[in-house]
């Protein structure tokens, strides 16, 4: 299948990043969200990020203008119906994703490929609630999308080879690298990354080290570009907790039990950078550890 048009559901951090790279690669993009404000903000962010690439001479001003011209926005989900490929990038809640697919299905072309940017939810289970499990797969981008080079492609039990190849060709056109992952909880990256972050929270919870000492140790001792607690704040503590719960429920192994301190921060609404407080307080000029 020759993919030309791409529909993206959700204009948040992941959705606007996916729209950015798809439009820059030459695809016609239709971005939808339930909120007009979210769509306006997404276009502003895409414009700003593309301008940053122009200033760094990664792309030309003409490239930016062409990319912006390829992006349309709508609050009507059914407007995505004619798309060749749809990428769902809504909130990481299975009931929300299922409702989106159920609303979309009556408006799709028979050949449209459906995908989800989920970071942990079963692709097989999501696919089973649609009319095209053979044309459904996981299309998991890393955050921030314009910068990160990896895309996880996850086949459900019914995904056919044509669907996989079509999505792999899209990744190649984006000049990114595809990693094929089996459909097990959290796939590859988060299966490894989230337990490390959770263990860092346990290390804090048990008083082995402070926020600053834990992050400094991993940056200077393991050559990580960000400390695990700093990274958790960047990802969102609610997302980290959701993925740990998927791992714990899906694999039934106590090593994936979310740290009680992580749960407490989420219950407090301290979700990281997006709420200005998490393991660090971001309300001042410099982030300050909250513990």
221 is in an annotated binding site: no
Q: What are the residue ranges of helices labelled H in the chain?
A: 13-24, 36-55, 61-69, 94-104, 123-128, 161-173, 189-205, 211-221, 228-235, 237-251, 260-268
Relative to beta strand 136-141, strand 150-155 is antiparallel
Active site residue 83: no
65 is in an annotated binding site: no
13 is in an annotated binding site: yes
Active site residue 140: yes
Q: Which two tokens stand for residue 291?
A: 């513990």
Active-site annotation holder among 117, 119, 120, 198: 119
Starting at the earlier edge strand, list the strands of the sheet with 85-88: 71-74, 28-32, 5-9, 85-88, 113-116, 136-141, 150-155, 177-181
Active site residue 119: yes
- Smallest CA-to-CA distance from 122 within 186, 37, 67 is with 186
| Residue 209 burial by Cβ neighbours in a 10 Å radius (0-12, 13-18, 19+) | middle
12 is in an annotated binding site: yes
Active-site annotation holder among 20, 152, 198, 230: 152
Q: How far apart are CA 254 and CA 213, in angstroms?
A: 26
14 is in an annotated binding site: yes
15 is in an annotated binding site: yes
Report yes or no: 197 and 227 within 8 Å, Cβ to Cβ: no
72 is in an annotated binding site: no
274 is in an annotated binding site: yes
Active-site annotation holder among 16, 116, 122, 190: 190
The helix/strand/coil state of 136 is strand
Residues in contact with 213: Cβ distance below 8 Å, sequence separation at least 6, in sequence order = none
Residues in contact with 62: Cβ distance below 8 Å, sequence separation at least 6, in sequence order = none
- Find residue 32's DSSP bridge partners: 9, 74
Active-site annotation holder among 20, 83, 120, 140: 140
The 10 Å CB-count burial string (b at 16+, else e) for 248-279 is: beeeeeeebebbebbeebbeeebbbbbeebbb
119 is in an annotated binding site: yes
Active site residue 60: no
- Would you list which residues are annotated within the binding site? 10-15, 33, 92, 97, 119, 143, 274
- Would you list which residues are annotated within the binding site for NAD(+)? 10-15, 33, 92, 97, 119, 143, 274
Active site residues: 119, 140, 152, 190
């Amino acid at each position: 299948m020759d993919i030309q048009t791409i529909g993206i559901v959700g204009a948040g951090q992941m959705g606007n990043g996916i729209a950015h790279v798809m439009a820059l690669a030459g695809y016609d993009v239709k971005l939808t969200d339930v909120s007009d404000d979210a769509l306006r903000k997404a276009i502003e962010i895409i414009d700003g990020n593309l301008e940053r690439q122009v200033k760094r001479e990664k792309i030309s001003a003409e490239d930016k203008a062409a990319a912006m011209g390829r992006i349309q926005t709508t609050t009507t989900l059914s407007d995505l119906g004619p798309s060749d490929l749809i990428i769902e990038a809504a909130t990481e809640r299975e009931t929300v994703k299922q409702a989106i697919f159920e609303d979309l299905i009556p408006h799709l072309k028979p050949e449209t490929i459906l995908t989800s940017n989920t970071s942990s939810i079963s692709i097989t289970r999501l696919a089973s609630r649609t009319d095209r499990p053979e044309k459904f797969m996981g299309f998991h981008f890393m955050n921030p999308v314009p910068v990160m080079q990896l895309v996880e492609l996850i086949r459900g039990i019914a995904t056919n080879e044509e669907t996989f190849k079509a999505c792999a060709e899209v990744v190649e056109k984006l000049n990114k690298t595809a990693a094929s992952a089996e459909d097990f909880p959290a796939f590859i990256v988060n299966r490894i990354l989230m337990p490390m972050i959770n263990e860092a929270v346990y290390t804090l919870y048990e008083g082995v080290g402070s926020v600053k000492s834990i992050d400094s140790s991993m940056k200077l001792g393991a050559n990580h570009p960000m400390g695990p607690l700093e990274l958790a704040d960047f990802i969102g503590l609610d997302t980290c907790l959701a993925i740990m719960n998927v791992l714990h429920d899906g694999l039934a192994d106590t090593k994936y039990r979310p740290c009680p301190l992580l749960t407490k921060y989420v219950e407090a609404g301290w979700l990281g950078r997006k709420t200005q407080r998490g393991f660090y307080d971001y309300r001042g000029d410099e982030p300050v550890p909250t513990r």
